[in-house]
Structure 1
Amino acid sequence: MYRNSEGTLVFSDKPHPEATIISVKSKVESIPASQPNKTIKSSPAKKNMSYQLNILQPKSQATIRSNPGQLTVSLNVSPNRPNSAQLKLWLDGAVVKTLPYRAITTLENVYRGEHQLKVELIDSNGKLIASSQTVTFYMHQASIVNTK
């Protein structure tokens, strides 16, 4: 072993003029205990984290074909949201559902036409943590009018 020009300890099986020869057969009687680093900083509090909230489904400008008006909504929160937070689904400017922890839900009776969907992440105190971009989608339902 020897120290290089940067002061780093180098172990090698190749001879070096400044090397000290050590025996690999030597027995280690004891291993010194490592002292924990007392200056470890704790991770930042979750309330100070920045969350990203995305609507994965429906896609923006998607046409959903469902005669009963069912809409599957899939969400992604990054990093994982706090357990105490809730997701609020907004459809056309009104809250239609509050989710305790699910990232996939179904909305019923969404009428034909253009709709705007938005999701908000709300903490246990009712404070807005994050908000998704508004997604515009189109619900298509077969007409019940016979056009003969």
Structure 2
Amino acid sequence: MRLALIFCLLLFTWVTQATVYKWVDKDGKVHYSDKPISNSEVVEFKSNTQNQIKVQQPKDLAPETKEEVTPATQYKMSILSPKEDETIRDNNGDITIMATITPDLKPKHLLVLLMDDKVIGPPQETPIFSLKNIDRGEHSFVIKAVAQNGKQLASTPPRKIFLHRAIVNKKPQATTLN
């Protein structure tokens, strides 16, 4: 059974081998087809006709690029304020996050603040982030040092805080006297 199947597959590939025909129309344009047309001739391909792709060797990296690829600086980062599980009471929803980083950031490196796994604000060079109008509740903060190409260089452990904020849009209700 297997032998018959292999024979049928080989026969099928031989039968389906496409022949290419070439002809020139009245305007002098050359055309190719898999169907014979009057005044067409069969195109014979040489055995060495192959699609060849040449891969270019990567160029040596410039000295300034090599520094970014292999960062020699190992940053140590931590969030100083607020403390872990601290409750902040602010009716405006303002929070200031302060961190420490050693050694100092290189000029092409930036800090990014993530609140609840989402980037908050633009990247910056200073480790002090002032946030305005944050919703009340539990929040987790992480600060990451990144290169300009987006590669993460260092990160702080997550810091969980609680923001206590009075109800903001509560309408005054009329009171009745009994």
Q: Determine the structure 2 residue equivalent to 1:126.
A: 150
Q: Describe the superposition over 1:78-131 as per-residue Cα deviations: whole angstroms up to 9, x where unpaired.
A: 111111111110001100123321121211111111000001000122110000
Structure 2 residue aligned with 1:102, among 126, 133, 146? 126
Conservation of the 8 A alpha-carbon contact between 1:118 and 1:133? yes
* Percentage of pairs with the same residue: 29
Q: Determine the structure 1 residue equivalent to 2:85.
A: 61
Q: Determine the structure 2 residue equivalent to 1:71.
A: 95
- Higher RCO (Cα < 8 Å, 6 or more apart): 1
Conservation of the 8 A alpha-carbon contact between 1:86 and 1:98? no
Q: Which runs of 5+ in 1 are unaligned?
A: 1-44
- Structure showing the higher helix proportion among its residues: 2
**Within 2, Cα distance between the matches of 1:49 and 1:102?**
17
Q: Which runs of 5+ in 2 are unaligned?
A: 1-66
Q: Flag the structure with larger Rg.
A: 2
**Within 2, Cα distance between the matches of 1:88 and 1:116?**
14
| SS state at 2:126 partner | coil
CA RMSD across the alignment: 2.1
Conservation of the 8 A alpha-carbon contact between 2:112 and 2:124? no
Q: Aligned pair count?
A: 104
- After TM superposition, the score normalised by the length of structure 1 is 0.64
- After TM superposition, the score normalised by the length of structure 2 is 0.53
Q: Report runs of 4+ in structure 1 exceeding 6 Å deviation.
A: none
Q: Does 2:107 align with 1:92?
A: no
Q: Determine the structure 2 residue equivalent to 1:116.
A: 140
